[in-house]
Amino acid sequence: RLLAAVYEFTHKESIQALASAVERGVSVKIVRHCKGSYHTRVKRDDIVKDESGNIVKDWIPDDTTEAAKKAIDAVGFQSLKYARVWQHDTFIERKHSAGIMHNKFIILVRNGKPVEVWTGSTNLTDGGFYGQSNVGHIVRDDDVATDYLEYWERLARDIPGRKRSSKIENDNEHGPMDELNERQQSNLEGHITSPSINVIFSPRKTT
């Protein structure tokens, strides 16, 4: 299995590699940034209202969301079966992040066990690969991969980042993200053994 979380997502070669994995029968799940805003519908300079007199509003994706959707839709498949998997069973839209969902990582899960992570500062865009001074790391460590898997599962449930309500505050499993992240990594102070790898996820209540 491949489990990814992406912000900008327009680099053709990366997208094609993931799509090819789908066509080989690999289970691929990608949490992607999905933000936008509601705009009042206007027709011939008049505000459109429904039968009850309520103003009609349309959800308009932001540029990052729209660009990724176009890149996703541009992928071709030899099999209609896997084209449907790509369109309907691969992507998970994250709409309730605290701001943008600026993640970029891919987890390799082998035989049900997370074993590797690719991560870094590189967005999956031409600019991210060829125009900016970015880094990418492959971490082959079961513990790190497990930490990332727990974090990915929270992203996939679209848990609010910092939004608080009485319902969410009393829910020890579903959020918000900043509280769950701190629960996973409760103590970032004190002595750190060397050599070691320490994973820190955001948002956090203290940042």
User: Is residue 94 predicted with pLDDT exceeding 50?
Assistant: yes
User: What pLDDT is stored for residue 53 in this prediction?
Assistant: 87
Question: What mean pLDDT do residues 52-62 have?
Answer: 89
- Rounded Cα–Cα distance for residues 158 and 32 (Å): 10
Q: At what angle do helices 12-23 and 63-73 cross, to 10 degrees?
A: 50
Question: What mean pLDDT do residues 23-36 have?
Answer: 95
Range of weakest confidence among 10-19, 35-44, 152-161, 195-204: 195-204
Could you tell me which residues are beta bridge partners of residue 92?
Answer: 31
- Rounded Cα–Cα distance for residues 160 and 88 (Å): 23
Question: What mean pLDDT do residues 9-29 have?
Answer: 97
pTM: 0.85
- Rounded Cα–Cα distance for residues 48 and 67 (Å): 27
Confidence tier at 207 by pLDDT (50, 70, 90): low
- Rounded Cα–Cα distance for residues 63 and 196 (Å): 39
The pair of structure tokens assigned to 35 is 């933000």
The contacts of residue 196 (CB under 8 Å, 6+ apart) are: none
* Better pLDDT: 203 or 116: 116
- Rounded Cα–Cα distance for residues 84 and 130 (Å): 31
User: What pLDDT is stored for residue 133 in this prediction?
Assistant: 92
Q: What is the mean pLDDT of the chain?
A: 88
